[in-house]
């Protein structure tokens, strides 16, 4: 590696981004992000949904402005969408009323190039990406993988310096996604792509290790970089390679390690005491299912997270909320990349339905503060009824209205399973009725 000091393509320092809350406060989404992108590298932003990585990508693309900090692209401050940065979207973002050729030409038309050159470059780009012959097809005639190829062609045809990719393969089936990834990596390694650097946002750990040279692991609440991990495996990378698996394990450990939260900051992962904790909406079927899966052979109550995730085909966005809820209920513990059932968790897996519900109800009322609070309020009131708004207003003191609704819906699901209270969605009323 040469030691010359090259100006980085992108230099981000101390970015903070917040959204205003309806009650006047602010919700901090990104807190103190530093990132540098140099020529010839693919940087991955890896984290769960809601950790601010897509927000960061849109800040880089100039689609919104940071509250504090600076974004410098090729030495200039980013102030609106800069030329030379192009984006590929998760849902392809193709215009349904334009053909493939017209979609690809869109960016070039906005640059005001002569028509012959627009056409020539567009056809070249379509050819490069493997869609030659489909120029006059409409997006509704194409499959998901082909539509994303059009998205790539459209981004590459403007010869950007930086390519931003927002979970580009997560809307595709596994086989198509793999095909596109390997095609992209082939073109990148052969130097056939006109781009100099790539930033990839993903929530799939294996995809990040497969594609990126550097991975920035994000945490949520608020979004910040937990760790930077360098991937120095040579291309093409194999998923079964022991070094590959080591890296995956390392990232799981990174994302499940408890840290002592400094005073004043909200605890990031898997803590949950006061009623101000945001609960994820998890079906009780999934909770039972994961408990049974971990309790069964070959894990016997203790499982390595990447292994069980792979065997259940769950990504971190599916697995972590379930594990988090189990941890909150003290039915399991998650630490150092492993999930371990507690004594009650092992019992739960053996019991029948009624006994399970009783055990679940005990844990729910003891350990999930919001559920206990709802039950207490209902017990105290003479008619044992309380409206949704009574609890929603209380929650909105601690979190945004959207998070309050999600948390309340989550606790309704858990409470209905445990049969500790009932809820009527027509009248929006909690009660102790037995329907």
- State in angstroms the smallest separation of the CB of 87 from another protein: 5
Question: Between β-strands 42-46 and 197-202, what pairing exists: parallel, antiparallel or unpaired?
Answer: parallel
Q: Using the minimum distance from each CB to another protein, give the nearer residue, 8 or 145.
A: 145
Q: Using the minimum distance from each CB to another protein, give the nearer residue, 15 or 364.
A: 15
Across the beta sheet with 68-73, what order do the strands follow? 26-37, 10-20, 68-73, 76-77
Q: Using the minimum distance from each CB to another protein, give the nearer residue, 64 or 366.
A: 64
Contacts of 7 (CB under 8 A, 6+ apart): 74, 75
The pair of structure tokens assigned to 426 is 């027509």
- State in angstroms the smallest separation of the CB of 96 from another protein: 6
Task: Find the part of the chain contacting another protein (CB under 8 A) among 129-137, 247-255, 264-272, 377-385.
Answer: 129-137
Tell me the DSSP string of 176-243: HHHHHHHHHHHHHHTT-SS-SEEEEEES-HHHHHHH-SEEEEEETTTBEEEEEEE--PPSSP-TT-HH
Q: Using the minimum distance from each CB to another protein, give the nearer residue, 132 or 379.
A: 132
Using CB under 8 A, which of 137, 293, 392, 432 touches another protein? 137
Q: Is 35 exposed, middle or buried (0-12, 13-18, 19+ CB in 10 A)?
A: buried
- Tell me whether the omega of the peptide bond preceding residue 236 falls within 30 degrees of 0, making it cis: yes
The verdict on 93 binding another protein (CB under 8 A) reads: yes
The verdict on 58 binding another protein (CB under 8 A) reads: yes
Q: How many residues bind another protein (CB under 8 A)?
A: 54
Q: Using the minimum distance from each CB to another protein, give the nearer residue, 203 or 214.
A: 203
* H helix or E strand, kind and range, residue 306: helix 305-312
Using CB under 8 A, which of 6, 21, 70, 95 touches another protein? 95
Q: How far apart are CA 281 and CA 295, in angstroms?
A: 23
Using CB under 8 A, which of 55, 90, 202, 327 touches another protein? 90
Using CB under 8 A, which of 28, 126, 146, 212 touches another protein? 146
Q: How far apart are CA 85 and CA 10, in angstroms?
A: 10
Contact mark string toward another protein, 169..208, x via CB under 8 A: -------x--x--xx--x----------------------
Task: Find the part of the chain contacting another protein (CB under 8 A) among 56-64, 214-222, 323-331, 399-407.
Answer: 56-64
- State in angstroms the smallest separation of the CB of 100 from another protein: 10
Closest CA to 9 of 179, 164, 147: 164
Closest CA to 56 of 255, 265, 224, 251: 224
Q: 109-128: which residues touch another protein (CB under 8 A)?
A: 109-112, 115, 119
Q: How far apart are CA 376 and CA 370, in angstroms?
A: 10
The verdict on 89 binding another protein (CB under 8 A) reads: yes
- State in angstroms the smallest separation of the CB of 249 from another protein: 29
The verdict on 61 binding another protein (CB under 8 A) reads: yes
The verdict on 304 binding another protein (CB under 8 A) reads: no
The verdict on 68 binding another protein (CB under 8 A) reads: no
Q: What b/e sequence results for 296-308 when a residue is b if at least 16 CB atoms lie within 10 Å of its CB, and e otherwise?
A: eeebebebebbbb
Q: How far apart are CA 262 and CA 302, in angstroms?
A: 30
Residues that bind another protein in the complex, under the rule CB under 8 A: 58, 61-65, 79-81, 83, 85-87, 89-91, 93, 95-99, 101-102, 105-107, 109-112, 115, 119, 130-137, 139-140, 143, 145-146, 154, 158, 176, 179, 182-183, 186, 426
């Amino acid at each position: 590696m040469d030691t010359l000091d090259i100006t980085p393509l992108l230099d981000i320092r101390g970015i903070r981004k917040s959204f205003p809350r309806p009650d006047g406060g602010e919700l901090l989404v990104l807190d103190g992000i530093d990132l540098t992108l140099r020529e010839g590298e693919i940087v991955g932003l890896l984290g769960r949904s809601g950790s601010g990585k897509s927000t960061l990508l849109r800040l880089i693309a100039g689609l919104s402005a940071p509250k504090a900090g600076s974004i410098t692209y090729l030495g200039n401050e980013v102030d609106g969408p800069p030329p030379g940065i192009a984006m590929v979207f998760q849902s392809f973002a193709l215009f349904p009323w334009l053909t493939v050729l017209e979609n690809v030409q869109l960016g070039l038309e906005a640059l005001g190039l002569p028509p012959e050159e627009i056409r020539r470059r567009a056809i070249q780009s379509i050819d490069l990406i493997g869609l030659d012959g489909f120029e006059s097809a409409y997006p509704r005639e194409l499959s998901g993988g082909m539509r994303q190829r059009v998205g790539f062609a459209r981004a590459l045809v403007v010869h950007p310096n930086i390519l931003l990719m927002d979970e580009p393969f997560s809307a595709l089936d596994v086989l198509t996604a793999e095909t596109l990834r390997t095609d992209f990596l082939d073109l990148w390694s052969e130097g056939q792509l006109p781009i100099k650097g790539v930033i990839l946002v993903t929530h799939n750990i294996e995809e990040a290790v497969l594609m990126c040279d550097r991975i920035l692991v994000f945490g949520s609440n608020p979004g910040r970089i937990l760790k930077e991990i360098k991937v120095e495996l040579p291309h093409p990378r194999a998923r079964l390679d022991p070094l590959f698996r080591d890296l995956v394990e390392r990232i799981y450990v990174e994302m499940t390690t408890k840290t002592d939260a400094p005073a004043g900051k909200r605890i990031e992962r898997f803590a949950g005491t006061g009623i101000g904790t945001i609960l994820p909406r998890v079906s009780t079927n999934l909770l039972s299912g994961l408990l049974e899966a971990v309790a069964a052979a070959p894990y016997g109550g203790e499982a390595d997270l990447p292994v069980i995730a792979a065997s259940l085909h769950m990504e971190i966005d599916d697995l972590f909320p379930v594990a988090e809820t189990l941890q909150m209920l003290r039915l399991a513990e998650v630490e150092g990349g492993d999930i371990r059932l507690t004594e009650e968790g092992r019992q739960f897996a053996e019991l029948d339905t009624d006994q399970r519900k009783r055990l679940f109800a005990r844990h729910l009322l003891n350990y999930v503060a919001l559920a206990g609070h709802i039950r207490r309020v209902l017990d105290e009131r003479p008619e044992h009824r309380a409206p949704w708004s009574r609890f929603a207003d209380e929650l909105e003191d601690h979190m945004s209205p959207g998070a309050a609704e999600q948390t309340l819906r989550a606790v309704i699901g858990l409470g209905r399973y445990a049969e500790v209270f009932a809820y009527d969605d027509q009248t929006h009323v909690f009660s102790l009725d037995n329907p």
